[in-house]
């Protein structure tokens, strides 16, 4: 006989998995490892859990919907984020609503209005002001995605600064380069601010003088082309261009090749993200691989867990690891073993 006191949250805790994973196992949807499936089924069997409890937990949601707040939707990065977020939301039977704030004069009002129609929201870091973020957190469960939380708002991000330090050290130590330019705008983007800080830290650790300022451009490929024109004007090109993301790096690559420069012989170019195109261009792009889908999936799990068990304490922050991927755009053979790179 089923135990009426057993809840989906308790089954998740006993099995050491998320509430969304229990939902996937029970409904036979989504991807779950055999080990997780076994633990969930054993907990269900041992404690007499029955599906009506899952239905009650799901019914407790006011809307059965989650929100994503982005600055915009251009580029592969946001596509990956959406897919990662949906990988947790869909099996938990939650729809996903997306709001882009770019060029909206009423973006604050729109975000607050969204909060009335969803049970939780993930917000890209730097997209809304701190006062609005805190007000939002009073209405629904909020998670800052790719940024830092504030107050009681948790966050999910990657190790941007250490990753950029490793990449920059690779250029300074393993390739002996000295004249490096950083392309990207740290203002308003926590990710880019941390990457700029990591770039500076690598120079500081080696007692080298970095450039005083980054080349401030937006995050899309045409902006990288504009940065290349600025950097290469007059023939005084740096030895390497360290870009804040892969889209900028691909634009810089187009601009450099258009001016007749050879990469990496005349100019080294690196990115950040490891977007699909990074491995397909010629030369393939040295970059930092970040787990974009996992980033968004983790944010969705935090929200879903909070929705299923109100009052449960969430971690202040979750920081996911990255991986340095060396390819030929920095002068390394593509697929070269990393060995002691960045140490």
Q: Is the pLDDT of residue 55 over 70?
A: no
**pLDDT for the residue 46:** 82
User: What is the chain's percent helix, strand, coil content, to nearest 5?
Assistant: 45, 15, 40
Q: Hey, what are 341's tokens?
A: 């790179």
Least confident of 26-30, 163-167, 263-267, 273-277: 26-30
Nearest residue to 112 (alpha-carbon basis) of 136, 89, 95: 136
Are 116 and 139 in contact by the 8 Å Cβ rule? The answer is yes
Q: Which tens digits make up the pLDDT trace of 84-134?
A: 999 999 988 899 999 998 767 788 889 999 998 999 999 999 888 889 999
How is residue 321 written in tokens?
């690891």
Q: pLDDT tens, 266-307?
A: 999 999 999 999 999 999 999 999 999 999 999 999 999 888
Band (335; pLDDT cuts 50, 70, 90): low
**290's tokens:** 């970040």
Q: What percentage of residues in the chain have a pLDDT greater than 70?
A: 88
| pLDDT tier for residue 340 given thresholds of 50, 70 and 90 | very low
- pTM for the whole thing? 0.79
- What would the 3-class secondary structure string for 236-290 be? CCCCEEEECCHHHHHHHHHHHHHCCCCCCCCCEEECCECCHHHHCCCCCCEEEEC
- pLDDT given at position 243: 98
Place of tokens 């450039």: 211
* Contact yes or no for 141/120 (Cβ under 8 A): yes
Residue 53: pLDDT over 50: no
* Share of residues in the chain with pLDDT > 90 (%): 59
Alpha carbon of 82 to those of 9, 40, 219: distances in Å?
A: 25, 27, 18
Q: Cα separation of 244 and 276, whole Å? A: 16
pLDDT at 33 over 70: yes
What is the DSSP code string of 42-91?
HHHHHHT--HHHHHHHHHTSSSSEEEEEES---SHHHHHHHHHHHHHHTT
């Amino acid at each position: 006989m089923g135990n009426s006191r057993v809840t989906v949250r308790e089954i998740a805790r006993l099995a050491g998995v998320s509430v969304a994973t229990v939902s996937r196992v029970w409904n036979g949807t989504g991807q779950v490892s055999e080990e997780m499936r076994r633990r969930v089924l054993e907990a269900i069997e041992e404690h007499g859990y029955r599906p009506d409890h899952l239905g009650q937990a799901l019914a407790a949601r006011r809307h059965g919907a989650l929100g994503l707040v982005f600055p915009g939707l251009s580029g592969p990065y946001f596509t990956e984020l959406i897919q990662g977020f949906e990988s947790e939301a869909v099996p938990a039977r939650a729809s996903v609503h997306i709001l882009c704030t770019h060029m909206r004069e009423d973006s604050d009002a729109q975000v607050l209005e969204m909060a009335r129609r969803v049970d939780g929201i993930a917000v890209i870091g730097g997209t809304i002001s701190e006062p609005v973020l805190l007000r939002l957190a009073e209405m629904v469960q909020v998670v800052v995605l790719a940024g830092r939380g504030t107050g009681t708002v948790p966050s999910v991000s990657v190790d941007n600064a250490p990753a950029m330090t490793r990449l920059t050290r690779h250029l300074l130590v393993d390739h002996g380069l000295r004249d490096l330019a950083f392309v990207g705008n740290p203002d308003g983007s926590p990710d880019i601010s941390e990457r700029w800080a990591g770039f500076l830290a690598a120079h500081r650790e080696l007692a080298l003088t970095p450039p005083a300022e980054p080349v401030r451009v937006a995050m899309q490929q045409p902006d990288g082309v504009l940065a290349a024109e600025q950097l290469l004007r007059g023939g005084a090109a740096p030895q390497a261009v360290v870009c804040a993301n892969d889209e900028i790096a691909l634009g810089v690559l187009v601009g450099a090749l258009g001016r007749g420069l050879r990469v990496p012989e005349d100019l080294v170019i690196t990115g950040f993200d490891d977007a699909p195109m990074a491995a397909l261009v010629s030369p393939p792009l040295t970059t930092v691989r970040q787990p974009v889908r996992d980033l968004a999936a983790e944010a969705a799990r935090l929200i879903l867990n909070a929705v299923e068990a109100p009052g449960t304490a969430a971690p202040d922050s979750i920081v996911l690891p990255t991986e340095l991927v060396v390819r030929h755009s920095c002068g390394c053979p593509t697929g070269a073993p990393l060995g002691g790179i960045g140490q």
